[in-house]
Amino acid sequence: MKIVVLIKQVPDTTEVKLDKKTGNLIREGVDSIVNPDDRQALELALQLKDDCQAMVTAVSMGPPQAVDVLSEALGMGCDAAVLLTDRAFAGADTWATSTTLGKAIEKIGDFDLILCGYQAIDGDTAQTGPQIAEYLGLPQACYVDNIENVEAGKITVTRRNDEGYERLSLTLPALLTVSKITVAPRYPMMGNLIDAGCEDAAIQIWNAVDIGALNSELGMEGSLTQVVKTFSPKTKRAGELLEGDVPEMVSELLGKVRQAHLI
- Least distance between another protein and beta carbon 111 (Å): 22
Q: With contact defined as beta carbons under 8 Å apart, do 128 and 101 qualify?
A: yes
**What residues contact residue 73 under an 8 Å CB cut-off, 6+ apart?**
5, 7, 34, 42, 58, 81
Q: According to CB under 8 A, which one of 82, 83, 105, 170 is a site residue for another protein? A: 83
d(CA 154, CA 163): 25
Single out the segment in contact with another protein by CB under 8 A; choices: 124-132, 187-195, 222-230, 248-256. 187-195
The span of 61-69, 106-114, 155-163, 235-243 binding another protein (CB under 8 A) equals 61-69
Which residues, 18 to 47, sit near another protein by CB under 8 A? 31
With beta carbons less than 8 A apart as the criterion, state whether 61 and 123 touch. Answer: no
Which of the stretches 40-48, 89-97, 124-132, 200-208 binds another protein when contact is defined by CB under 8 A? 200-208
Which ranges constitute the DSSP H helices of the chain? 36-52, 67-76, 94-108, 128-136, 190-196, 246-259
C-beta closer to another protein: residue 85 or 98: 85
Question: Residue 168 or 201: which CB sits closer to another protein?
Answer: 201
By CB under 8 A, tell whether 187 contacts another protein: yes
Query: Could you give the C-alpha distances from 161 to 131, 168, 175, 205, in angstroms and in order?
Result: 21, 12, 18, 38
* Contacts with another protein, residue ranges (CB under 8 A): 31, 64, 67-68, 70-72, 75, 83, 85, 187-199, 201, 203, 205-207, 210
